[in-house]
Every structure is written in C-alpha cells, then in structure tokens.
C-alpha cells in the first residue's frame, strides 16, 4: 500500500536558520503530494501541494518540489521565524481512493 516517511523530530532551530524536512513516499500509481501544518492547539492547514513531477509548491516562504525519480517531496524554508513552530505533515493522495495518507509528522521548534 501507499506510505509516507518523514524525518522524525523534534527539529530545533534558531530564528533565521534554514529548514529542511525530508519526505519520501511509496505509491503504486502517480500521487498528488501535500504538506500540511498544525500549529499548537489548532487544526490542519494546507501549506502547499504539487500534483505532477517537477512541480514546485510554495506558500509563506516554504517550498517543496515533486521529485518522481527519488520519490521525494522535501520541505524547505530559507529563514524560519518563531511563528513557524508547528508540526508539519507530508501526505499523498492516489487515484485508487480519494484519501490522504500521512507521514508521522515532524515537530519544528524555532527559538528566538
């Protein structure tokens, strides 16, 4: 079946540092890929998405590129802020079923 693997956290950074969260996937077909973010005590928000190979999703300074050859969708941000402290989830959907398969989440803590 489908699966998503992302790096375990927590990831602790200083403000203005560079953030990378690795995400790789296994899928039988050609999935769409998503990053969702969950701020403390809140629900899930879509951060960005990409639906085909080499697409780059971007939002709020975050970027991720759909790499079919390496089955990866790594999340990056050039300069993080304290307000970026959250749990980040990589996820995919496939044509076989309109459902999201999530990675385990990566907690990011940005210190001033």
What gap in Å lies between CA 89 and CA 99, rounded to an integer?
15
Q: Applying CB under 8 A, which residues contact other proteins? A: 31-32, 34, 36, 38, 42-46, 49, 51, 87, 89, 93-95, 97-100, 102, 104-105, 107
With beta carbons less than 8 A apart as the criterion, state whether 87 and 107 touch.
yes
Q: What is the β-pairing status of strands 11-14 and 56-59? A: unpaired
In the complex with other proteins, the residue whose CB is nearer, 2 or 110, is 2
In the complex with other proteins, the residue whose CB is nearer, 82 or 95, is 95
Work out how close the CB of 102 gets to other proteins at its nearest, in angstroms, rounded to a whole number.
Answer: 4
In the complex with other proteins, the residue whose CB is nearer, 98 or 112, is 98
What gap in Å lies between CA 67 and CA 102, rounded to an integer?
18
């Amino acid at each position: 079946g489908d699966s998503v693997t992302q790096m375990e956290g927590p990831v602790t950074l200083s403000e203005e540092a560079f953030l990378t969260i690795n995400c790789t996937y296994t899928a039988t077909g050609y999935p769409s890929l998503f990053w969702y973010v969950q701020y403390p005590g809140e629900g899930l928000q879509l951060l960005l998405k990409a639906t085909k190979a080499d697409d780059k999703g971007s939002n709020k300074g975050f970027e991720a590129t759909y790499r079919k050859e390496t089955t990866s969708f790594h999340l990056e941000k050039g300069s993080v802020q304290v307000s970026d402290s959250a749990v980040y989830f990589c996820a995919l959907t496939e044509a076989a079923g309109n459902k999201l398969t999530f990675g385990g989440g990566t907690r990011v803590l940005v210190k001033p």
